């Protein structure tokens, strides 16, 4: 894949500022795009956009296709006239610098019900035509998801395996009867997805007009409590009660001495192959409707994945199992085009077969500077993550959502490693996050990306996720007063110095 030499920021939309308890697709998202443009950046990378379930993780979504309703902007609904200012009366006192999922979710759910009533009473004919087109175009997933989410809401958000057996096992008569009684709740879920799609399309157009492209993220596995697993249990390694027999994770690594037990059910790859990998084709087609490039999370799982018996409490006693390999990507190319705009997240335990698959597909991989500089402890710069080892077909990061912020990481390093790193960077330690940003920008790698926290000079308090921990993740938000124009000017100057440009507008 031919890449444009550019750079950008990693920021999930939930981390945007605003008065509604969570970042959304409205005015603050547009101001962030303006910041990117002023800083000469061409990319906005975000985490998976799906509706979050277990512990609010964007990597444990309740659908591989649907979008997160919490990202819908009340301000933009007010502008359309589908909400009234009085609908916002009684808004909870949300914190400024973190997401309070427990308070946001029920408040925004009520707003979206009001917005649907506003749509029914005041939408233009054009709006109604657009809605009908959306329903038809997204039929592969939308109807199943709307039914699943309506059922889940009716069952107080309990997992589908805890529903009445006839509904959990998708008995046709039981589903038909329930659907007839709850048509309005099901239609509400379709409408919510339409509203997201409408707002997202406007934001993407706004970004493109300013030379900014969007990078999305697809987790390789889907959550057990999801529309897809409930709708198509035959695609997954489940027992007769719908529970996983084996689950996904990774062996012990840098992040955890016991590995990571993700809990996702594993695919029955032969079943997916027999259907021509239609699930994956439609999944990638859907995300490419929303973004311009896609980071494939845990790319190594397509070559081989860590299979853990579901009864195990940690990931230690798993084993490697073969993935679908090149066959899957040949099916994707045949359906979606030869030049798939993908970034392979090739971190962790990477073996020759993973590298061969990535290189055969001519996909850029990833390099994380924090990992590279960890290896400078012994004074030998042999890590492929260090800038002098980079190649063009690569995306280099100062850190990812799974790392501490650069300043938080630096504060935890010993004096010897700091000295080695500053020698490498030719820095004085006064603004070490910017020393790392400059090193990434100066790399030969086509893409350079930085968490927003690193550009805003933030420490460990702004960490997005700590792998292996259960609480306190996915909450960070920046405040509006932290969006410093001087940081944009500095980033623009450095990006231009190292020959990185935004995309042409449009």
In DSSP notation, 133-156 reads: HHHHHTHHHHHHHHHHHHHHHHTT
pLDDT mean across residues, the chain: 97
Q: How far apart are CA 357 and CA 302, in angstroms?
A: 9
What's the average model confidence in pLDDT over 416-433? Answer: 96
Portion of the chain with pLDDT greater than 90, in percent: 94
Residue 243 near residue 310 (C-beta atoms within 8 A): yes
Q: How far apart are CA 369 and CA 398, in angstroms?
A: 5
Residues catalogued as catalytic: 297, 345, 402
Cα–Cα distance list, 380 to 29, 45, 369, 421 (Å): 42, 32, 15, 11
* Dihedral angle sign, alpha carbons of residues 192, 197, 198, 202: positive
pLDDT tens column, 198-212 = 999 999 999 999 999
In which band, very low, low, confident or very high, does the pLDDT at 2 lie, cut at 50, 70 and 90?
low
Residue 413 near residue 422 (C-beta atoms within 8 A): no
Q: How far apart are CA 264 and CA 60, in angstroms?
A: 8
In which band, very low, low, confident or very high, does the pLDDT at 379 lie, cut at 50, 70 and 90?
confident
Instruction: Specify the CATH superfamily of domain 6-220+278-297+341-497.
Output: Glycosidases (3.20.20.80)
| Per-residue pLDDT at 255 | 67
Residue 442 near residue 498 (C-beta atoms within 8 A): yes
Query: The tokens of 57 are what?
Result: 């993780």
| Per-residue pLDDT at 467 | 84
| Per-residue pLDDT at 327 | 99
Residue 262 near residue 301 (C-beta atoms within 8 A): no
Q: How far apart are CA 303 and CA 350, in angstroms?
A: 10
Query: The tokens of 218 are what?
Result: 């697809």
- Model pTM? 0.97
What's the average model confidence in pLDDT over 438-458? Answer: 99
| Per-residue pLDDT at 42 | 98
| Per-residue pLDDT at 348 | 86
Residue 55 near residue 47 (C-beta atoms within 8 A): no
Q: How far apart are CA 458 and CA 70, in angstroms?
A: 25
Residue 231 near residue 61 (C-beta atoms within 8 A): no
Q: How far apart are CA 406 and CA 246, in angstroms?
A: 36
User: Within 10 A of 182 (CB to CB), how many other CB atoms are there?
Assistant: 16
pLDDT tens column, 126-150 = 999 999 999 999 999 999 999 999 9
Return the residue matching tokens 């890590």: 383
**3-class SS letters over 323-358:** CCCHHHHHHHHHHHCCCCCEEECCCCCCCHHHHHHH
Residue 349 has pLDDT above 70, yes or no: yes
In which band, very low, low, confident or very high, does the pLDDT at 85 lie, cut at 50, 70 and 90?
very high
Residue 22 near residue 11 (C-beta atoms within 8 A): no
Residue 133 near residue 201 (C-beta atoms within 8 A): no
Portion of the chain with pLDDT greater than 70, in percent: 99
Q: Where are the domains of the chain?
A: 6-220+278-297+341-497
């Amino acid at each position: 894949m031919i890449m444009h030499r550019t750079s950008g920021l990693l920021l999930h939309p939930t981390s945007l500022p605003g008065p509604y308890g969570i970042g959304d697709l409205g005015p603050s998202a547009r101001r962030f795009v303006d910041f990117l443009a002023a800083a000469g950046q061409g990319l906005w990378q975000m985490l998976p956009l799906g509706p979050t379930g277990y512990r609010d993780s964007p990597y444990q979504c309740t659908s591989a296709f649907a979008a997160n309703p919490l990202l819908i902007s009340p301000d933009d609904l007010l502008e359309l006239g589908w909400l009234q200012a009085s609908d916002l009366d009684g808004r909870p006192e949300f914190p400024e610098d973190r997401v309070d999922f427990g308070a946001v979710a029920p408040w925004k759910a009520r707003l979206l019900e009001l917005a649907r009533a506003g749509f029914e009473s005041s939408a233009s004919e054009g709006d109604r035509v657009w809605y009908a087109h959306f329903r038809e175009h997204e039929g592969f997933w939308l109807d199943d998801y709307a039914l699943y989410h309506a059922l889940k809401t009716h069952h107080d958000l309990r997992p589908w395996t805890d529903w009445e057996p006839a509904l959990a096992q998708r008995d046709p008569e039981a589903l038909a009867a329930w659907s007839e009684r709850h048509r309005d709740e099901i239609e509400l879920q379709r409408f919510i997805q339409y509203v997201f799609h409408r707002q997202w399309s406007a934001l993407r157009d706004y970004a493109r007009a300013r030379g900014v492209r969007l990078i999305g993220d697809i987790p390789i596995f889907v959550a057990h409590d999801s529309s897809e697993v409930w709708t198509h249990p035959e695609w997954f390694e489940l027992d007769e009660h719908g529970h996983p027999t084996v689950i996904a994770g990774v062996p012990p690594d840098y992040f955890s001495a016991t590995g990571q037990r993700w809990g996702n059910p594993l695919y029955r790859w032969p079943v997916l192959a027999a259907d021509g990998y239609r699930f994956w084709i439609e999944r990638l087609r859907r995300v490419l409707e929303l973004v311009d490039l896609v980071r494939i999370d845990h790319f190594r799982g397509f070559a081989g994945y860590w299979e853990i018996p579901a009864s195990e409490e940690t990931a230690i006693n798993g084993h490697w199992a073969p993935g679908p390999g090149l066959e899957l990507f040949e099916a994707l190319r045949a359906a979606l085009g030869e030049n798939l705009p993908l970034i392979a997240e090739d971190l962790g335990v990477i073996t020759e077969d993973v590298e061969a698959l990535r290189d055969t597909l001519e996909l850029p991989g990833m390099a994380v500077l924090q990992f590279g500089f960890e290896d400078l402890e012994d004074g030998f710069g042999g890590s492929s993550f260090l800038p002098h080892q980079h190649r063009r077909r690569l995306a280099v990061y100062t850190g990812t959502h799974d790392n501490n912020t650069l300043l938080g990481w630096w504060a935890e390093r010993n004096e010897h490693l700091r000295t080695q790193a500053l020698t490498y960077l030719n820095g004085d330690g006064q603004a070490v996050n910017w020393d790392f940003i400059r090193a990434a920008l100066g790399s030969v790698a086509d893409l350079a990306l930085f968490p927003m926290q690193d550009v805003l000079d933030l420490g460990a308090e702004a960490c997005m996720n700590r792998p292996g921990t259960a609480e306190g993740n996915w909450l960070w938000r920046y405040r509006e007063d932290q969006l410093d124009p001087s940081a944009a000017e500095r980033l623009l100057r450095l990006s231009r110095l190292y020959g990185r440009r935004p995309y042409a507008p449009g």
